[in-house]
Amino acid sequence: MSKIAIIGSGMSGLLAGLGLLKQGHEVTIYSALSADDWLTKVPPTGTACRFATSLDLERELGVNHWEDSTPIEGIHLTFCPKPGRQLIDLMGRFDRMALAIDVRLQSHRWTHDFQERGGKVVVANVDIPKLEEIAADADLTLVAAGKAEIGQLFEVDNSRTVYEEPQRNLTMFVIKNVSLDRSSDGIAQKYGIKFNFFGTEGEQFSIPYWHKDGYQCWNALFEARPGRAFDKFDDCNSGEAVVERVKELFKQYIPWDYDWIKDAELADPKGWLKGKFRPCFKKPVGTLPSGATVMALGDTANSLDPIGGQGANNCYRQIRVLLRGMEANKKGDYSPEWMNATFDKYFDEIGKVTNEFNNLLLEEITPAAQRLLIAQYGSDARPGNSSIQQQLANAFCNNFDNPNLLTRQLLDAGESKAFVNKLSGGKAGSIDIRNKLRIAGGQLRQVLGIPRSDHPLARMSA
């Protein structure tokens, strides 16, 4: 068995550490934060909604402590080509529930789990000389430091990276005093993700959340296109100021959800975050001044814009591939070739497609996605609804868990049509025409101020 060092006690460092302990390795985690620091000193790294297959990894490792807290059933997406105009709603259900647990609580608890199972934790801010010492003493050193400075050790892989710049200015806020059960708003999901998607301005999404202090609330986000209507948080220097600006933006641009959010309060003093970063792939091997090599893991290796909720899920996907690679690596060969081959497996199996799925949400909607969105029109997420519309909406939701399911169909117009044809027995063309007419009718009703009776759950924008 090998001696493994890990930098970072976020989900990547801890889950990899727990998995490697289970395989019988000797594991030490070096972290800038102690278990208690996670609860008191930092905001959550991100919303980090995790889908079913990721949660399976927690179950396999026996660290799924929050299963019943806030099981998320699906997604309600409202697509608005322009502010103020709700064009299409999608209401889909996941086959299996998702969860968004405060990462501060998780890292606190998992640090204790890790230590109780024989892992060693050293609280230290690791710089390059310290990393040299650590790497010299370990068979394999994994750098799971998120987007922190030490990650600059790893070069951006320009052959795999699409963007030169950050794509959105991000503002995250954790709020309480906002109803979790939206069934009174006509939404057939007790706990559902709300996704308001604006073609020109950016996106706003809200996720049912289990707070570190042990209660249900919401973790929500504005994804502002730079310089556009939602890019209004520069002068907000406190969580309270962020929440006040959030309410103003809802009132002006998302009036259909204003009543729901108008009494929101910041959940805790550190429950907010502002920033931006470049979505990218790194080369997984970092070489230290001495020539020793270390391997990137989690966000350090691949960071994604939060728009598609894939970043944390990709951390879990990397860890699965890493653990499989370790299991097969009986000789303990941790050469740069092995590190590259391990990361390539992640890229080929799931990393490439998840980045493609995530990035397509950042861009103007593709004709292929447009067809699927139109074809699902009328989905209502009610349990037992097995209509074609509902199957399509559900397929869209399940693609967040496994982007191999529908990403091709969202990118390629031929694939998209074939998929609708397959579900409908060859009726893609007529569904497209019929639903376009219904959507146009709904738009006319909005302009005239008449309720949109054509869509069972859509409400009027003010």
Ligand X SMILES: Cc1cc2nc3c(=O)[nH]c(=O)nc-3n(C[C@H](O)[C@H](O)[C@H](O)COP(=O)(O)OP(=O)(O)OC[C@H]3O[C@@H](n4cnc5c(N)ncnc54)[C@H](O)[C@@H]3O)c2cc1C
User: Could you tell me which residues are beta bridge partners of residue 76?
Assistant: 91, 194
Judged by CB, which is closer to ligand X: 201, or 299? 299
Letter string b/e over residues 276-301, b meaning 16 or more CB atoms within 10 A of that residue's CB: ebebbbbbbbbebeeeebbbbbbbbb
Among 4, 5, 6, 8, binds ligand X (CB under 6 A): 8
Instruction: State the nearest-atom distance from the C-beta of 439 to ligand X, in Å.
Output: 29
Exposed/middle/buried for residue 387 (C-beta within 10 Å: 0-12, 13-18, 19+):
middle
In the complex, minimum distance from the CB of residue 406 to ligand X, in angstroms, rounded to a whole number: 17
Of 24-32, 235-243, 287-295, 364-372, the window that binds ligand X (rule: CB under 6 A) is: 24-32
107 to 146, contacts with ligand X by CB under 6 A?
125-126, 144-146
Please say which residue, 107 or 390, places its beta carbon nearer to ligand X.
107
Binding mask 267-306 for ligand X (x = CB under 6 A): ------x------------------------xx------x
11 binds ligand X (CB under 6 A): yes
- Per CB under 6 A, the segment of 9-17, 63-71, 132-140, 178-186 that binds ligand X is 9-17
Task: Render 362-418 in DSSP notation, one character per residue.
Answer: HSSPPHHHHHHHHHTTT----TT--SHHHHHHHHHHHHHH-TTTTHHHHH-HHHHHH
The residue among 150 and 439 lying less far from ligand X, judged by its C-beta, is: 150
d(CA 370, CA 178): 32
9 makes contact with ligand X (CB under 6 A)? yes
- What's the CA gap between 89 and 60, in Å, rounded? 36
Residues 172/273, Cβ–Cβ less than 8 Å: yes
Give yes or no for residue 19 binding ligand X (CB under 6 A): no
**Please, what's the b/e burial string for 45-83 (b: 16 or more CB within 10 A of its CB; e: otherwise)?**
bbbbbbbbebbebbeebebeebeebbbbbbbbbbbbeeb
Given 6, 27, 48, 373, the residue binding ligand X (CB under 6 A):
48
Query: Counting every residue, how long is the chain?
Result: 462
* 10 is a site residue for ligand X (CB under 6 A): yes
H-run or E-run covering 422: helix 413-424
> Given candidates 35, 103, 350, 374, which one binds ligand X under the rule CB under 6 A?
103
Which of 17, 19, 43, 46 touches ligand X (CB under 6 A)? 46
Kindly state whether residue 189 participates in binding ligand X, applying the rule CB under 6 A.
no
Using the minimum distance from each CB to ligand X, give the nearer residue, 312 or 381: 312
Return residues touching ligand X (CB under 6 A). 7-13, 30-33, 45-50, 103, 125-126, 144-146, 148, 150, 170, 172, 221, 273, 298-299, 306, 309-313, 315
